[in-house]
Structure 1
Amino acid sequence: MRNLNRAGMSAGRIAGERALNDARRRLSTKMSRQTQSTRTSRLSSSQVKSADRSSIIAANSFASKYQSSSQNTTLEKKYYTEMGEAAESLQDRVSLFLKRGENTLFGKQTEVADNGGTTVTEEQKNKLVKEIEGFVDDYNTMRKSMGNIGGQVRQVYIQQLDKQVNKQEKTLAEIGISKGKDGILSVKSSVLKESDLEKIKLLFGTVDSFADNIGNISNALEKNARDNLYELKFSSYSSNYSRNGSYRDSYSSIGKRYNVRG
């Protein structure tokens, strides 16, 4: 009888252990499935974040416009070259405006004039008008190039240029120079030619004048253009080596002083 009881207890214990082991296996399987589901969810979330980041980068106009394709790099070189050459030309014109002495753009100081003004010949006045027209052309080229390039630094320079124009907008209009909604300047040559010489001189022919201040800004723009052209050239070096290790110089020459040569 005791033997039967012992056998029954042993069988019950074995059955209980089996049931416990089965329960543990089911729990382990369930937890494993949950872990796999969590990993899959995390991976999907990571992929979505990566896709979102790519979308943000693609949506960024400056980044998407000027990534490393040769076509976009060529555009950058073109715009920086135009900006740099226009800035250099504008500074040369300002130097002519500020130059003093006989046969300069603003003529020589007269000793007999009651108002202490200046006298110029018709030829000098025509040259002055031509140089101011050229100044406006250079200004517009700089501004348009910066707008095409984009970027925060160029935006700061645009704001500086606009500030100088806005300060003198009324006086500029009196000599035939006006600003459009896009910030671009225009000149009415007939009005400019008939304008008072002293009024023109105050805007273009004196230190700290409108033209002088624009010249100072263009000096910084010229340096910015040159620095960026150097950077573009040397960044192109790293991507222009052929498979056999030889260098393919695809840097095209644009402009004069702003052709950055090795």
Structure 2
Amino acid sequence: MNKIVITVLGMVLCFSSMYAQETIKLKPTDKKSIDVPEPSDIAYSSDGKSLFVVSDNGYLFETDLEGTILRKADYQGLDDEAVYANDSHVYVVEEYSRKIKMFRLPDLTLEKTVAIPYSGGRNKAYEGFTYNKAKGVFSLFVEKDPLYVFELNEKLEKVNEINLGDLARDISAATYYDNYLWLLSDEDRTIFKVNPTDYTVVAQWVIPVLNAEGLAFDKNGDFIVASDALQRLYYFNNPENNQ
């Protein structure tokens, strides 16, 4: 009798655990084609009036909120995969060359180039970059095999590295919003909400976007996801806005 009770209790606990970890699937509320070829990441300007978008072709663009190109930096890089903007600079990460480029605002003049060496595969290096306000560091994410985050100081010097284990199959973008890190996985087609101090997953949502490589938040706190292959922006309601 006791064995039966224990078995039933174990099944209930297992079912409850599976239910608690169930990932919610989101549907886009809108999608728009944009002028930027192969957009590999997106970032809002500090005033929220435009987007900075980088291309696999090695270009940095500023667009309006609909994705129409306003201007292009006088620069061509090598496999641009991540972008972050604050009120003074736009940072562009080149996966192939392992370099971070700093462009001065407001004229998008290249001010500084910093190399961050990494010996992994040519196409398995840096894919996500943002400023982690909770720790006061830049977080630079290695795509996969293995998943790593490098923490950089204000001079873009590496001060720490953390193996993220099996957090996701890959990381294709990163941003900081509302006191959390938010990571995008192309292969998992998932958005992860992550604790910014220990990089543990707090929540996650599956999205139906092919080759999702850019993640940002609009002024309402909703998700914007860039599809590299389809050259589109997808818009999703953030479920946490309704909590």
TM-score interval, smaller chain: under 0.3
If the length of structure 1 is used for normalisation, what is the TM-score? 0.26
Larger relative contact order (CA 8 Å, sep ≥ 6): 1
Normalized per residue, which structure has more strand?
2
If the length of structure 2 is used for normalisation, what is the TM-score? 0.27
